[in-house]
Amino acid sequence: MASSSKAAAFAALLFSLLVTYGSCTRPVNFNESDFTADPNWEAARATWYGAPTGAGPDDDGGACGFKNVNLPPFSAMTSCGNEPLFKDGKGCGSCYQIRCTNHAACSGNPETVIITDMNYYPVAKYHFDLSGTAFGAMAKPGRNDELRHAGIIDIQFKRVPCNYPGQKVTFHVEEGSNAVYLAVLVEFEDGDGDVVQVDLMEANSGSWTPMRESWGSIWRLDSNHRLQAPFSVRITNESGRMLVANQVIPANWVPNTYYRSIIQY
């Protein structure tokens, strides 16, 4: 090829790159795994931990405080997120679609995972440390083990609304709660998957007392008086939409117990 036609071919290549990827500022030293042509998907890396077909940690607890994450509705489709995903606990319960395309065993189909834990040693800007189950779910049928064997792979992800068919918002009164201290785990919210505020109303008090974020998805109230149950709980999502679970925590509440509401976003 003559050098002028080489230059023309190079210019055409540059032009096609610009057309394909638009004019967004890109890092100078980017490669294919740093971004995708579809602006709705972002690049991340994925690893996995725990048992190959497990739900992550043995105690299935993690930094969000969720329990029994191996059971529905989480069904082991769980992930640790590094700080941009975990967000100091505000990311707990967020739902993401993930997919992989650049390993032979990848199906390319999107799978939905829920952030249930914190990832302390990120290997990329966005790092999903998945349960073995969730990592394997990105594989073609019958090739889960082959994909897990890769250990660490490039993936793509996007935030999606959570959707828990048939599930209502559930409150778990945490171990250690007592007459002057109440800690409540809030879970299974459709949409955002998380709440930005939780308030409590004591029996016949007629007023809401703000709870504060304790850790993960657990909200707490430290009271200067004996709290009068039953308690109503009001939750507010990121759009400011409030829902009230009327007297959801009964007069005879006990710690370490789930109380299911009849509310849902």
| Three-class secondary structure assignment of 132-144 | HHHHHCCECCCCH
Which residue type occupies 58? D
Binding-residue pattern over the window 4 to 43 for ligand NAG, x denoting contact by CB under 6 A: ---------------------------x-x----------
Of positions 84, 180, 238, 251, contacts ligand NAG by CB under 6 A:
238
265 contacts ligand NAG (rule: CB under 6 A): yes
Of positions 142, 239, 254, 262, contacts ligand NAG by CB under 6 A:
239
CB 79 within 8 A of CB 115: yes
Q: How far is CA 67 from CA 61, 165, 202, 236, in A?
A: 5, 19, 26, 22
Closest CA to 76 of 20, 134, 32, 127: 134
Tell me how far, at minimum, the Cβ of 265 lies from ligand NAG, in Å. 4
236 contacts ligand NAG (rule: CB under 6 A): no
Kindly report the length of the chain: 265
CB 147 within 8 A of CB 130: no
Closest CA to 228 of 208, 204, 207, 209: 204
DSSP E strands, the chain: 42-49, 78-81, 95-99, 111-118, 127-131, 153-160, 170-173, 181-187, 197-201, 209-210, 212-215, 218-222, 231-236, 242-249, 257-260
Select the span of 9-17, 102-110, 125-133, 236-244 touching ligand NAG (CB under 6 A).
236-244
* Residues from 241 through 260 that contact ligand NAG (CB under 6 A): 241
187 contacts ligand NAG (rule: CB under 6 A): no
Binding-residue pattern over the window 143 to 182 for ligand NAG, x denoting contact by CB under 6 A: ----------------------------------------
Tell me how far, at minimum, the Cβ of 66 lies from ligand NAG, in Å. 18
Q: Which is nearer to ligand NAG, 223 or 236 (CB)?
A: 236
Select the span of 81-89, 172-180, 224-232, 237-245 touching ligand NAG (CB under 6 A).
237-245
Q: Which stretches of the chain bind ligand NAG, using CB under 6 A?
A: 31, 33, 191-192, 237-239, 241, 265
